[in-house]
Amino acid sequence: MESRKSEAAEKKRSGQCNCAQSVICTYCDKAGIDEQTAMNIGNSFAAGMGNMEGTCGALVGAGVVLGLVNKDKAKSVREMREIISKFQCRNGATQCKMLKGIESGNVLRECPDCVADACEFLEDAING
């Protein structure tokens, strides 16, 4: 599969989607859902899960897609751990508020780049 990470990052950059929606919508065909359903699934995951600055929405979106593609809990959990580990290693955090530098003033990664990273690691899992 050709990488879709640039497409997903552009969805976020354009403002048409939050981070979770950007990932879920980009892979809705792989997940077996339509784009409107993908948008609805991702609605509440903006700004770190319900605007509480928690887990990055791009990671949440990757987890949703992974579960729908795999249809296997153990495999999905194992692969999600790997995605989170890679994301943490590359970006230094998995929490939205830390990535955005809300408390520190030091932005670790911009949202479109977080979306691209989550997609890259999701594609590794799906294709691996």
3-state class of 55 per DSSP?
strand
Residue 6 has pLDDT above 90, yes or no: yes
**Each residue of 76-128: pLDDT tens digit?**
999 999 999 999 999 999 999 999 998 899 999 999 999 999 999 999 999 97
pTM, full prediction: 0.94
Which residues, in sequence order, are bridge partners of residue 8?
Answer: none
pLDDT at position 17 over 70: yes
The pLDDT of residue 1? 62
Q: Quick one: pLDDT band at residue 44, thresholds 50, 70, 90? A: confident
* Rounded Cα gap, residues 54 and 34, in angstroms: 27
